[in-house]
Amino acid sequence: MAVLTYREALNRAMTEEMEKDPNIFLMGEEVGHYEGAYKVSQGMLAKFGEKRVIDTPISENGFAGVGIGAAMVGLRPIIEFMTWNFSLVAIDQIINSAAKMNYMSAGQFPIPIVFRGAGGAGGRLAAQHSQSFESWYAHIPGLKVLAPYTPSDAYGLLKTSIRDNNPTIFIESEVLYGSKGEVPEGEFLIPMGKSDIKREGTQLTIVSWSRALMYVLPAAEKLAKEGISVEVIDLRSIRPLDEEGILASVRKTNKVLIVEEGWNVAGFGAQVAYLIQKEAFDYLDSPIERITQEDVPMPYAANLEKSSLPSEEKIIKKVREMIK
Amino acid sequence: MSQPKTKKETEDLLELYRQMLLIRRFEEASAKAYSMGKIGGFCHLYIGQEAVGVGAISALEQKDYIVSTYRDHGHALARGLEPKALMAELYGKKTGIVSGNGGSMHFFDKKKNFMGGHGIVGGHISLAAGIAYASKYREDGAVTLCFFGEGAANIGSFHEGMNLAAIWKLPLVMICENNHYAMGTPEYRALSVKDVSVRATAYDIARDHIEGDEVRKVRDHVKVAVERARRGEGPTLMEISTYRFRGHSMSDPAKYRTKEELEKYKQGDPLIKAEKDLLSAGWAQEELTKMDETILKTVEESVDFAEKSEEPPLGWLYKHVYAENV
């Protein structure tokens, strides 16, 4: 099994899909000659040429719209946002055009497009460049939202997204690009709406996804040494959501903590909590808890940034309280 | 230009007149149905602007694409979409052009390359650039025609779409239907330039500006832009000056403009102009009256069809939220 970085796994997924289907193209700022602001598209211009790896000016609203228009007539664009923070100027196109086109046209114009790029918090980038938007996009019917944690999931889910006939929001965590993991040889796809148990346990379920798992998994490891057995579910797919996977784990452990990098108010974890209380209320031995980013724009100061995010310590402390 | 000289020219004008008259009668019927509460939501009528849509769309081939705004009834009829399906859509019926999912602002017809009916002012401009982009990518020789109002010329999507179309030399014809009011805001309070096509110079692309009261003139000018696009010479930004005789939508009494102004523009009614030209070219009034009667019958049939059609089944609520993966 090959060990790849997260960015290499994404690159491999796009390259393989583009080799197969000439309707796929990659478009975005610096994706071509610069080979990607985060080097996800390294080598792709040389391989596919300027026709299929297209540098754009700084105009997210414009090139998001161009991608959607091209998808209306059957092309399959991959639109890279340098970071999801810049998607906000294109959000009208994503919501009002991409998400709704198939519905408004009664199925005449599906939009097979992937919007992808770096998301999440980190790197001391401060308030405007450091935030998680999974909850925003998950709110919109017509969109699918994915946020993989491992290189293997990134590969398998990106391939599925490219082949999906719907607009997909593919949020890569900026701090994970260099992380390494085993990616099986040969082609494989990971279906949407399927969570993955990243660690089995019996006493409490932690539901999480993307970069927050960087804190959750080591915390679970440490808790195991104290004799507390935590099950960790990586959602991977935010919409569609693996409701059964979550519920099965809750029925087994009877306690749930949701850990997310995004904000608390109207955050996606609230939706997961609603699902659990509605469908598995009788199985709960304690209230559902959440650890999220603090309810503030991201501060720059290293200590404040760290304190605003979920952490191993916060998770360990919360789990100990819940297990008592 | 106005007077057709040969029989062929006269017959040509007659067909364009027929299309304009169909739009006029369809819109009058829509207004009536709206007043009776049969049509919901917003309903933006095209009355007064018919020569623009009919003239411009008649310059296209079947393989070409049209992207429209929320004021899309006229463009759809000019493209030959079925009046019955359009009226049924206004009624929100199962038999509507998009099964009652869209209503007035969201007509779509894939078979006719009619790419919508878009409700966000100017948002569709970059979509049009994307469709034109796909034509260039595939080298299919098609041209995309995008209609928008002068109000849309001030939003970011317009500028971004123009710049991208210009740098990539996309086969795109942008038609600003300047009817002088963005809802209630007159152009002089909103536009930094009087003529939107002047903005083409900022993107170093071709421009054109005409009055939109003569249907054949509109077509001839649009044809030049369409041919330029087809030759691979890039986009054109046109302003076609026009006027809507009704308010912004059915709920707008249009008190922001004077009766005198409206009367002045009504003198330039494109239908009256075309009718006069046909009569002076020797066409009989009674022929035109007969044509009108036939059109009225078509429109009545479309209303009747809409009235009698069923509402979409409740089971369709979730249909088409997601496309199937085959």
CA B240 to chain CA mean position, Å: 12
Tell me, what's the pLDDT at A177? 97
* Domain membership flag for residue B323: no
Instruction: Please identify which residue in the block is written with the tokens 């959750």.
Output: A216
Residue B86 backbone phi and psi in degrees, to 5:
-70, -45
* Domain membership flag for residue A190: no
Considering the domain architecture, whether residues A210 and A78 belong to the same structural domain is answered as no
Q: What is the mean pLDDT of residues B108-133?
A: 97
Q: What is the mean pLDDT of residues A281-301?
A: 97
pLDDT of B281 higher than 80: yes
* 3-state secondary structure at position B237: strand
Handedness of CA A276, A212, A321, A205 (dihedral sign): positive
Considering the domain architecture, whether residues A179 and A35 belong to the same structural domain is answered as yes
Q: How far, in Å, CA of A14 to CA of A11, rounded? A: 5
Q: How far, in Å, CA of A312 to CA of A223, rounded? A: 10
pLDDT bin (cut points 50, 70, 90) of residue A122 is: confident
Question: Taking a C-beta distance cutoff of 8 angstroms, is the pair B173, B200 a contact?
Answer: no
Question: Which of chain A's residues have a Cβ under 8 Å away from the Cβ of B67?
Answer: 69
* Domain membership flag for residue B135: yes
Q: What is the mean pLDDT of residues A233-240?
A: 98
For the record, the structure tokens of A232 come out as 């960790």
Q: How far, in Å, CA of A182 to CA of A4, rounded? A: 6
**Among chain B residues, CA nearest to A51:** B137
pLDDT of B91 higher than 90: yes
**Among chain A residues, CA nearest to B107:** A105
Q: What is the mean pLDDT of residues A276-302?
A: 97
Considering the domain architecture, whether residues A177 and A278 belong to the same structural domain is answered as no
Tell me, what's the pLDDT at B3? 82
Residue A43 backbone phi and psi in degrees, to 5:
80, -5
Considering the domain architecture, whether residues A170 and A208 belong to the same structural domain is answered as no
**Among chain B residues, CA nearest to A64:** B126
For the record, the structure tokens of A164 come out as 């999906």
User: For position A264, which CATH number holds?
Assistant: 3.40.50.920
* Domain membership flag for residue A104: yes
* Domain membership flag for residue B314: no
pLDDT bin (cut points 50, 70, 90) of residue A88 is: very high
Instruction: Please identify which residue in the block is written with the tokens 């402390």.
Output: A317
pLDDT of B326 higher than 80: no
* Domain membership flag for residue B325: no
For the record, the structure tokens of A249 come out as 């784990």
* Domain membership flag for residue A188: no
Q: How far, in Å, CA of A166 to CA of A154, rounded? A: 18
Is A305 one of the catalytic residues?
Answer: no
* Domain membership flag for residue A210: yes
> In total, how many domains does chain A have?
2
Q: Residues 106-145, chain B: which have Cβ within 8 Å of A?
A: 106, 108-110, 115-120, 123-135, 137-138
pLDDT of A291 higher than 70: yes
Considering the domain architecture, whether residues A20 and A150 belong to the same structural domain is answered as yes
Percent of chain B topping pLDDT 70:
99
Considering the domain architecture, whether residues A231 and A116 belong to the same structural domain is answered as no
Angle of CA points A220, A126, A58, to nearest 5°? 115
If DSSP states are collapsed to H, E and C, what string results for chain A? CEEEEHHHHHHHHHHHHHHHCCCEEEEECCCCCCCCCCCCCCCHHHHHCCCCEEECCCCHHHHHHHHHHHHHCCCEEEEEEEEHHHHHHHHHHHHHHHHCHHHHCCCCCCCCCEEEEEEECCCCCCCCCCECCHHHHHCCCCCEEECCCCHHHHHHHHHHHHHCCCCEEEEEEHHHCCCEEEECCCCCCCCCCCCEEEECCCCEEEEECHHHHHHHHHHHHHHHHCCCCEEEEECCEEECCCHHHHHHHHHHHCCEEEEEEEECCCCHHHHHHHHHHHHHHHHCCCCCEEEEECCCCCCCCHHHHHHHCCCHHHHHHHHHHHHC
Q: Which amino acid is at B12?
A: D
A235: containing domain: 196-323
- Determine the distance in angstroms separating the CA of A108 from the nearest CA of chain B, rounded to an integer: 6
Q: How far, in Å, CA of B314 to CA of B309, rounded? A: 15
> In total, how many domains does chain B have?
1
User: Is A105–B98 a contact, with Cβ atoms under 8 angstroms apart?
Assistant: yes
Q: Which residues pair with B68 in a beta bridge?
A: B117
Element containing residue B148 per DSSP (H, E): strand B144-149
For the record, the structure tokens of B261 come out as 């102004």
pLDDT of B5 higher than 90: no
Q: Enter the DSSP assignment of B109.
A: B
Tell me, what's the pLDDT at A264? 96
pLDDT bin (cut points 50, 70, 90) of residue A212 is: very high
pLDDT bin (cut points 50, 70, 90) of residue B106 is: very high
Q: Which residues pair with B292 in a beta bridge?
A: none
pLDDT of B161 higher than 70: yes
Cα within 13 Å of Cα(B63), Cβ side = 11
User: For position B18, which CATH number holds?
Assistant: 3.40.50.970
User: Is B161–A141 a contact, with Cβ atoms under 8 angstroms apart?
Assistant: no
Across all residues in chain A, what is the average pLDDT?
A: 97
Considering the domain architecture, whether residues A176 and A222 belong to the same structural domain is answered as no
Q: Enter the DSSP assignment of B221.
A: H
Q: Is B114 exposed, middle or buried (0-12, 13-18, 19+ CB in 10 A)?
A: buried
User: Which residues contact residue A239 at a Cβ distance below 8 angstroms, ignoring those fewer than 6 apart?
Assistant: A137, A138, A143, A144, A145
Neighbours of B94 (CB within 10 A): 14
Q: Residues 160-179, chain B: which have Cβ within 8 Å of A?
A: 160-161, 163-164, 167
* Domain membership flag for residue A72: yes
Q: How far, in Å, CA of B148 to CA of B69, rounded? A: 6
Q: Is B117 exposed, middle or buried (0-12, 13-18, 19+ CB in 10 A)?
A: buried
Considering the domain architecture, whether residues A164 and A253 belong to the same structural domain is answered as no
Considering the domain architecture, whether residues A165 and A206 belong to the same structural domain is answered as no
pLDDT of B1 higher than 70: no
**Among chain B residues, CA nearest to A99:** B321
Q: How far, in Å, CA of B272 to CA of B264, rounded? A: 13
- Determine the distance in angstroms separating the CA of B70 from the nearest CA of chain A, rounded to an integer: 13
Q: How far, in Å, CA of B96 to CA of B306, rounded? A: 8
User: For position A160, which CATH number holds?
Assistant: 3.40.50.970
Question: Taking a C-beta distance cutoff of 8 angstroms, is the pair B14, B278 a contact?
Answer: yes
0.90 cut: is pTM over it?
A: yes
Tell me, what's the pLDDT at B2? 67
Q: What is the mean pLDDT of residues A153-158?
A: 98
Testing the interface with B: which of A25, A78, A92, A108 to mutate, by most B Cβ within 10 A?
A108
User: Is B129–A57 a contact, with Cβ atoms under 8 angstroms apart?
Assistant: no
Q: How far, in Å, CA of B171 to CA of B261, rounded? A: 37
* Domain membership flag for residue B322: no
For the record, the structure tokens of A14 come out as 């796009």
Tell me, what's the pLDDT at A126? 94
For the record, the structure tokens of A156 come out as 């398998």
User: Could you check whether the bond before residue A287 is cis, i.e. omega within 30 degrees of 0?
Assistant: no
Is A129 one of the catalytic residues?
Answer: yes
For the record, the structure tokens of B165 come out as 């179309």
Question: Taking a C-beta distance cutoff of 8 angstroms, is the pair B52, B218 a contact?
Answer: yes
DSSP assignment of B7-67 = HHHHHHHHHHHHHHHHHHHHHHHHHHHHHTT-S-S-----TT-HHHHHHHHTTS-TTSEEE
Considering the domain architecture, whether residues A250 and A279 belong to the same structural domain is answered as yes
Tell me, what's the pLDDT at A118? 97
B177: containing domain: 7-307
* Domain membership flag for residue B317: no
Question: Cα separations (Å) of B96 from A58, B74, B93, B308?
Answer: 40, 16, 5, 12
Handedness of CA B92, B93, B97, B102 (dihedral sign): positive
- Determine the distance in angstroms separating the CA of B104 from the nearest CA of chain A, rounded to an integer: 11
- Determine the distance in angstroms separating the CA of A191 from the nearest CA of chain B, rounded to an integer: 12
Considering the domain architecture, whether residues A43 and A159 belong to the same structural domain is answered as yes
User: Is A62–B164 a contact, with Cβ atoms under 8 angstroms apart?
Assistant: yes
Write the pLDDT tens digit of every residue in B224-254: 999 999 999 999 999 999 999 999 999 999 9
**Among chain B residues, CA nearest to A92:** B123
Q: Enter the DSSP assignment of B199.
A: G
Testing the interface with B: which of A61, A100, A169 to mutate, by most B Cβ within 10 A?
A61
* Domain membership flag for residue A99: yes
* 3-state secondary structure at position B262: helix
Question: Taking a C-beta distance cutoff of 8 angstroms, is the pair B105, B117 a contact?
Answer: yes
